[in-house]
Amino acid sequence: MEFRHLGNSGLKISEITYGNWLTHGSQVENDTARKCVQAALDHGISTFDTADTYANTKAEEVLGEALKGERRESLEIFTKVYWPTGPMGKNDTGLSRKHVMESIDGSLRRLQTDYVDLYQAHRFDTETPLEETMQAFADIVRQGKALYIGVSEWTADQIRQGVALSRELGFQLVSSQPQYSMLWRVIEAEVVPTCEELGVSQIVWSPVAQGVLTGKYRPGEQPPAGSRATDEKGGADFVQRFMDDDVLTRVQDLRPVADDLGLTMAQLAVAWVLQNDNVAAALIGASRPEQVEENVKASGVKIPADVMKRIDEVLGDVVVRDPGKTAELAPKRRPA
């Protein structure tokens, strides 16, 4: 496992980071989830990412239990706040001071830790003044409940505003967590250049495009039973944007590229996002320990420039690059 600095901070994290978005507390049984976490630890992953909203707080509980007994100083634990939790009342969502201050305490309790290494704004809250949110984050850092602050799916302008306020308030906003893959490159035009300028890293989610870049979905065929595209609990909704025969055909054309490098399709996809110098970590999920073992082999892989160009040629115009997608897909109001 290789490690990278998170933003311009002194914190190093594993470049393959374990995330439990659609698995812990929902898709897989707790015993399997614990085995996946142990597999991550066994293969050198030290960084774990979750959120209070995942499985309505259950994912944090599962992760906390799975990491129980590990040396805390050897781990980097990340979580997030914004989406609805609990009974989902009027103040159980967003980035108001009330919700942020209450949420960090709930997350720490569920994770069985005194602090998180990174606390992230899961989306931008259009209903709360940014100054209020950033002051709450500053207080959480001063209280020692979080060491660093990050954001997720914020636009370049929002990140710039957030960094400016964080500096005024005396804490570090060091990371952005966007979707990024060979097929979804909307951060490249604006978010990445802004973050490079400001000393902010990307922790990217869905590097295998919800499993599409593994090649398991084939054009003209029904999705395999039990795959994310058949998950009615929410997974299928995220895969649909890639379930187009043209996209799936281009993805199959990447097989010779992966074979030439001695990689699986999934390893190629994870290694590809790590070629971007602004990416500190690629988030991987797993429903089986074997998936962790496969994906960690992408750590340290260097893809030659001519192969990167070949990938671009194979995928062609199915790649989504529009930087406006970040704002377009962002919630316009707090979810109820």
Active-site residue identified among 18, 54, 119, 217:
54
Query: Within a domain: residue 130?
Result: yes
Position 228 scores a pLDDT of 61
- Per-residue pLDDT reduced to its tens digit, 293-333: 999 999 999 999 999 999 999 999 999 999 999 999 999 99
Asked whether residue 12 is assigned to any structural domain, the reply reads yes
Quote the pLDDT of residue 217: 87
Give percent above pLDDT 70 in the chain: 94
Across-strand partners of 5?
Answer: 12
The pLDDT value recorded for residue 235 is: 61
pLDDT for 125: 98
pLDDT category at 98 given cuts 50, 70, 90 is: very high
**274 in any annotated domain:** yes
Higher pLDDT residue, 28 or 280? 280
Tell how strand 12-14 and strand 3-5 pair up: antiparallel
Asked whether residue 141 is assigned to any structural domain, the reply reads: yes
Which pLDDT belongs to residue 260?
97
What token pair was written down for 23?
């698995």
User: Average pLDDT, whole number, for the chain?
Assistant: 94
Reply yes or no on whether the pLDDT at 28 is more than 70: no
Q: What are phi and psi of 30, to 5 degrees?
A: -60, -35
User: What is the total count of domains within the chain?
Assistant: 1
pTM of the model: 0.94
pLDDT tens-digit map of 212-235 = 999 998 987 777 766 665 566 656
Residue 218 lies in a domain: no
Which one is predicted more confidently, 43 or 233?
43
Q: CB-based burial of residue 225 (10 Å sphere; 0-12 exposed, 13-18 middle, 19+ buried)?
A: exposed
Phi and psi at 223, nearest 5°, equal: -60, 145
pLDDT (mean) for 26-37: 81
Calpha distance 248→240 (Å, rounded): 12
- 227 lies in some domain: no
- Identify the CATH number of the domain in which residue 81 sits: 3.20.20.100
Contact 243, 232 (CB under 8 A): no
Reply yes or no on whether 54 is catalytic: yes
Structural domain that includes position 17 = 3-209+269-302+319-329
pLDDT tens per residue across span 3-24: 999 999 999 999 999 999 876 6
Q: What is the pLDDT of residues 165-205, one digit of tens each?
A: 999 999 999 999 999 999 999 999 999 999 999 999 999 99
Q: Is residue 307 part of a domain?
A: no
The answer to whether residue 232 is domain-embedded is no
